Amino acid sequence: MIGRPWGEVLSTSAGDLLVIRPKRIKLPFWMVLLGLLLRWSGRLLWWCLRHPVVTVSVVLALWLYVEFDWPGLVVPLVLAATASAVWRWRDESSWWTFLAGPLLGSCRRVFVYRRAWREAMTLCGLAEMYDHRPVLPELLRVRSDQALDVLTVRMVRGQTPEQFQAVSANLAYAFGRRHARIYSERPGDPPTRTGHAAWLLRLVDRVRYRDRPTLVYLALVRTDALRTVVPPFAVPAVPDFTALPLARREDLRTWSLHLLSTHVLLGGATRSGKGSVLWSLVRVLGGGIASGLVRLWVIDPKGGMEFGLGRPMFARFAGTSFEAMADLLDEAVEVLRERQTRLAGRVRVHTPTEADPLVVVLIDEMAALTAYLQDVELRKRIASSLGLLLSQGAGVGVLVVAALQDPRKDVLPFRDLFPTRIALGLTEASQVDMVLGDGARKRGALADQMPRWAKGVGYVILDGTPDPMRVRFSYVSDDDIRDMARQYPAPVDASDILAQVGRETATEPVRLPLPRKPSGPLLPESLRNLLDRDAGGDAR
């Protein structure tokens, strides 16, 4: 039975309904005032304990003012501003990490996000009702850098990061920004620690970067770093195939492609800047092309319009005849077969060397080969070579990097065989998932909403997380291409790779006879002895 509330019963209706006036305790005025004062002081004390930096600063400022009047405030402020300016001038990145970022983050937390939090969460549909009361996601921390504000948010019990990802655009506009991204794990990798205290810092990092499934990270783009054209990256003498710098990320870091052991599919509408992605890749491979560590086999069905300028860099090139393109692909399959025979039983993954280079088959406008080609026989031949290359080439260093405009299955039947995908501006929302994989658009890859200026801007999926990242690829101009072609031509003997490696066939391995197994437990001892004796007799 439910207990009756404390108070005076005013009336009872015919049913069980009781109308009760709560009992009031009358207190003297001084006691109420004292209670209120105690409550406010308690709150103030708690606030001071939670914000020690602000408290100490205010106390210090008051003390300086009382002791030295106005100069006591102005002189330290001028000194601090000068020190900060010098710090920024000497090392801007550490200045952002340790001073400006946390300071700006704290200010924006109080003056921007906290003020709009309740309204934004409710109107974006992230407030839940529990026990007849609204429960909001909790804003824990704001960290700013040059480009982004990263908000650490504790979800309401029962929410998932997908719910936040579904309303990421609403969240961006709710806080007056154009782009927002939701990360289910803390964005950014732990820093590499060196020096004496590295072990301690690594321990701290393990705690800081631990998996925290109750949190989501909302990154709001404060200053869009992708609005300006990205200049070409420096060409490394020896390319690191696991991290080829190609694009600028929203957070001003560099996005690098892991090319080794993968095939890359690049989807983008016409004039979206596919050329700049392919040329950025060619550029960072330049050092390897000249030294012979990597061979580019290029198919340019636009008659050489896109890649003709860089012809000296390419070991093989087909631009006009589809027959020649089919031959090129067949030969790539031959290289694949030769490598499989040679490497089988020795290694499981091919490591590129100058004697045995990485072969990258670069295809612009792939649909011209797989869908729009009139000659059915030729199309079938191309399809079968492509299928083989895509399904078996990654491990033996014969990779395919293909660009196309229309990612539908009937245009590109091998879509699923590309492990790495890049989506530039696309024309339809459904194409985003076709290029980047199921659910990518829901997770914030709005490649179909690219503004007109966003040439070479696209979405990539970062290694190790399912969350898409917005990047802008470097723009390689025609003059840069001419320079590259002069500086990094492929070696003279680059075209005939099969003649260079020499074919070998793997020989049958020497096999040892199997040792006789110990007898199974199912046979009785006497029978086993009998069998063993017989076997011994046979052997003699």
Ligand X SMILES: Nc1ncnc2c1ncn2[C@@H]1O[C@H](COP(=O)(O)OP(=O)(O)OP(=O)(O)O)[C@@H](O)[C@H]1O
Beginning with the edge strand found earlier in the chain, give each strand of the sheet holding 215-221 in spatial order: 138-144, 148-154, 215-221, 180-183
User: Judged by CB under 6 A, which stretch of 72-80, 169-177, 272-280, 483-491 contacts ligand X?
Assistant: 272-280
- What is the residue whose two structure tokens read 């439910």? 2
Answer yes or no: are the C-beta atoms of 474 and 463 closer than 8 Å: no
Residue 486 found at the interface with ligand X (CB under 6 A): no
Residue 270 found at the interface with ligand X (CB under 6 A): yes
**Which one of ligand X, Mg ion, none interacts with residue 456, CB within 5 to 8 A by kind?**
ligand X
Region at 456 (left for phi over 0; alpha for psi -120 to 50; beta for the rest):
left
Residue 274 found at the interface with ligand X (CB under 6 A): yes
H or E element, residue 217: strand 215-221
Q: Which two tokens stand for residue 376?
A: 């059915």
**Three-state SS string across 248-317, please?**
EECCCCEEEECCCCCCEEEECCCCCCHHHHHHHHHHHCHHHHHHCCEEEEEECCCCCCCCHHHHHHCCEE
Say whether 155 sits in a helix, a strand or coil.
coil
- Nearest C-alpha neighbor of 497 from the set 343, 315, 341: 315
CB of 296 to ligand X, least distance (A): 17
For β-strands 398-404 and 264-267, DSSP reports them as parallel
**Which one of ligand X, Mg ion, none interacts with residue 297, CB within 5 to 8 A by kind?**
none
**Residue number, 445 or 494, with CB nearest to ligand X:** 445
Q: What is the rounded distance in angstroms from the CA atom of residue 225 to the CA atom of residue 253?
A: 10
- When computed from its CA atoms, the radius of gyration of the chain, rounded to whole angstroms, is 34
CB of 275 to Mg ion, least distance (A): 4
**Residue number, 155 or 247, with CB nearest to ligand X:** 247
**Residue number, 359 or 481, with CB nearest to ligand X:** 481
Number of residues near ligand X (by CB under 6 A): 14
Binding mask 198-237 for ligand X (x = CB under 6 A): -------------------------------x--------
Say whether 338 sits in a helix, a strand or coil.
helix
Q: What is the rounded distance in angstroms from the CA atom of residue 388 to the CA atom of residue 402?
A: 15
**Residue number, 164 or 317, with CB nearest to ligand X:** 317
Residue 268 found at the interface with ligand X (CB under 6 A): yes
CA atoms within 13 A on the CB side of 517: 3
Binding mask 463-482 for ligand X (x = CB under 6 A): ----------x-x-------
**Residue number, 117 or 473, with CB nearest to ligand X:** 473
**Residue number, 183 or 297, with CB nearest to Mg ion:** 297
CB of 282 to ligand X, least distance (A): 13
Cα 217 → chain centroid: 14
Residue 271 found at the interface with ligand X (CB under 6 A): yes
Residue 273 found at the interface with ligand X (CB under 6 A): yes
Q: Which of residues 424-453 bind ligand X (CB under 6 A)?
A: none
Say whether 102 sits in a helix, a strand or coil.
helix
Cα 64 → chain centroid: 49
List, as one string, the DSSP characters of 417-459.
Answer: G-SEEEE-S-SSHHHHHHHH-TTTTTTT--GGG--TT-TTEEE
**Which one of Mg ion, ligand X, none interacts with residue 449, CB within 5 to 8 A by kind?**
none
Question: Is the sign of the CA dihedral 448, 450, 451, 456 positive or negative?
Answer: negative
CB of 454 to ligand X, least distance (A): 9
Task: Report the greatest alpha carbon distance in the chain.
Answer: 115
Among 179, 381, 441, 455, binds ligand X (CB under 6 A): 455
**Residue number, 275 or 468, with CB nearest to Mg ion:** 275
Q: Which of residues 311-370 bind ligand X (CB under 6 A)?
A: none
CB of 439 to ligand X, least distance (A): 25
**Which one of Mg ion, ligand X, none interacts with residue 310, CB within 5 to 8 A by kind?**
none
Q: Which of residues 39-68 bind ligand X (CB under 6 A)?
A: none
Among 163, 272, 370, 385, binds ligand X (CB under 6 A): 272
CB of 365 to Mg ion, least distance (A): 7
Residue closest to Mg ion, measured at CB: 275
Residue 267 found at the interface with Mg ion (CB under 5 A): no
Under 8 Å CB-to-CB from 383, ≥6 apart: which residues? 370, 413
Residue 310 found at the interface with Mg ion (CB under 5 A): no
Among 232, 273, 275, 319, binds Mg ion (CB under 5 A): 275
Residue type, 251: D
- Backbone dihedral angles phi then psi of residue 173, each to the nearest 5 degrees: -70, -30
Judged by the rule CB under 6 A, the positions of this chain that interact with ligand X are 229, 268, 270-276, 405, 455-456, 473, 475
Residues that bind Mg ion (CB under 5 A): 274-275
